[in-house]
Amino acid sequence: MPFLPMTADEVGDTPLDVILVTGDAYVDHASWGVSAIGRWLEAHGYRVGIIAQPDWDDVEVFRVLGRPRLFFGVTAGNMDSMVNRFTASRHLRSTDAYAPGGEFGLRPDRATIPYVAKCKHAFPGVPVVIGGIEASLRRLVHYDYWQDRLRGSILLDAKADLLVYGMGERQIVEIAKRLDAGLPMSACRDIPGTAYATGSKEAPPPVGDEVIELPTLDECRADPLQFNRVTVWMYRESNAHCGRVLIQRHGERTVVVNPPAEPLDTAMLDRLHELPFEGTQHPCYRKPIPALASIQGSIAVNRGCSGGCSFCALTIHQGKDVVSRSPESVMRELKKMTEQPGWNGIVTDLGGPTANMFHMRCNSEAANKVCRRVSCLHPVRCKHYGTDHKPFIDLLRKTRNMPGVRRVYVNSGIRYDLASVEPEFIDELATYHVQGQLSVAPEHASSKALMQMRKPEIKYFDAFIDRFKKATAAAGKELFLVPYFQCAHPGVGPEEAIELAHYMKARGLRPRQAQMFMPTPGTIATATYVSGIDPYTKDPVYVAKGDRERSRQRALLFYWKQEEWPHVREALISWGRRDLIGRGPECIVPSGPSYGAWQKPKSERDGVRFDTHMGMKVERASPDEERAETWEAVAESRPSA
């Protein structure tokens, strides 16, 4: 079918095998998680339907496609639903990029939980499998920033039968095969990349040398250092080749997490991306879906990331091993694009989570099978990790020279420390593949902060700037680098915030967007935020908590904006650094009045909009706050399946 069915008329008389429920609107594109899983199941012979952004208060909505023969698959969508709904300041957003017309409010908080409840209410006895990034990162005890407490596994909160973590293609097909053969859901409990729960009346959880018993939920709540241990074990056992079973007790129940599933190989990834996706939103929608605009005209060439940044969930969700498509597959997809009516000849992005990691991998199969490193690049690049840019350079040349193609741009993130290893890549990038500006994410300038972030030293960013400027000059172009910086990350205190402001001022950097750290489930930085202790070194780490301190750090990122000067002065005064206010060479802002960014003048407060949310008045995010966070939200969610 052109689209997977969303209505009873589209389903027809033959029952569906699997029904997928999602918090996103339905866009038939390989970068849309529910579409990728749906098409993958379809390619393996199963009939699949989609219930998109259902009314979670109306059980009849979950009955519209009939009773699925095998199971319901539930996902909150391409993003964690709480990240989708709230900013880093816990303000409600005004829009939802994954809804028609950007309409806000079409998904609930922690959407996986109410969706599962309604599936079970609609059709009692039908198994429910949960997956996607929300379920994946909440599979064990996790910190919920919006409630400011540790929550147990979402598997128990949702009362689902099975949880799929990671990208999910291998697991979901294996589940379908076993249920199709007449086996019960309990027969799926040994599938890699899944988690299940046992109770006091069931068979005991597994034991043995290949089983790691984690600190219990109660122990983690009583001692944050135990939560650190859980996070470390989750990352240590994330290699599909050597990962072990993790078990964690939640009162009388136990959550069992099987070792990760092997990532798709190149041939399978090629097959996935060449399935008959329509590449657009379902025709039932009358308004455009904003997130679709960021991926239309783009081609994904890889998945996974070897960087292991402490604040990013890519490593634990997509995997540390980068899997890349074959150049032939990419060219076939591009050829298909050139044949579409009305195509403008421009590839808006040729990339992935990290574009220039295309076909980079561990060069030692033996080492990779026993590797437990979180990052291949930090604190130093592993000697086994290949950094050859030639496959990506060759792909760029082939795509831009294809008949019918006018331009090929790289708008995905690039790893600048890797790019600096290959000057030819920077030359190619500047000459042919940058559309006015190139976004890079140094995140900070302080060595202490960058160590906590697991990002390269700022000297690598400086070297990249110099090389990029030379390349643009040689190409006769005027191109700009757009750096993204982050504030309030664990390890960033007043000294580090001031150091970053001085760095930006010395180099004339004026970022238009800056990200305030949000402690999302499953990351190393979140464990540090909760405990104030580095989970690996066990050293104390400064953590900025509360709107006041976090807002002070954010103000310094915009030291150059006159409207931010009063906030910057207040921050510097509170930190005992009045010497940085004035006209001297070391000063950050000129003299003048000071007041806190979180204490809005009365005229501004009167204009603030509030919504009633879960019985509380919750402030809406300002337009500036939403714009500042949109880049990260879309970038992190785009590759998730």
Cα 476 to the center of its chain, rounded Å: 36
Averages of pLDDT over runs of 10 residues in the chain (641 residues) are 92 95 97 96 98 97 97 97 93 94 95 98 98 97 96 97 97 98 96 94 85 98 97 96 96 96 97 95 95 92 95 92 97 94 93 94 95 94 95 97 95 91 94 91 95 96 94 92 93 97 93 88 97 97 94 94 95 96 94 80 46 57 57 36 30
DSSP conformation class of 562:
G
What distance in Å separates the CA atoms of residue 382 and residue 219, rounded to the nearest whole number?
35
Distance CA 220, CA 147 (A): 16
Q: Cα 306 to the chain's mean position, in Å?
A: 14
Domains and CATH numbers, the chain: 8-196 (3.40.50.2300)
Question: What does the block give as tokens for 199?
Answer: 């109770």
User: What does the longest C-alpha to C-alpha distance in the chain come to?
Assistant: 78
How much is the pTM? 0.92
How wide is the angle at C-alpha 19 spanned by C-alphas 195 and 52, nearest 5°? 100
List Cβ neighbours of 435 (8 Å cut-off, separation of 6 or more).
407, 409, 411
User: Is 227:532 a contact under the CB 8 Å cutoff?
Assistant: no
Q: How many CA atoms lie within 13 A of 595 on its CB side?
A: 7
The answer to whether 484 and 440 are in contact (CB under 8 A) is yes
Q: Is the Cβ–Cβ distance between 281 and 25 less than 8 Å?
A: yes
Centre a 10 Å sphere on the Cβ of residue 538 and count the other Cβ atoms it contains.
10
Residue whose pair of structure tokens reads 């103000």 in the numeric block: 555
CA distance 140 to 169: 21
SS3 354: coil
Structure-block tokens of residue 129: 């499998």
Phi-psi group of 20: left, alpha or beta (phi > 0 → left; psi -120 to 50 → alpha; rest → beta): beta
Q: Which residues contact 182 (CB under 8 A, 6 or more apart)?
A: none
Beta bridge partners of residue 247, listed in sequence order: 213, 256
The whole-angstrom separation of Cα 111 and Cα 381 is 39
Residue 594 CB burial class (10 angstroms; 0-12, 13-18, ≥19) = middle
How far from each other are the two terminal CA atoms of the chain, in whole angstroms? 21
Q: Which amino acid is it at 203?
A: A
DSSP single-letter state for residue 197: E
CB atoms within 10 A of CB 269: 23
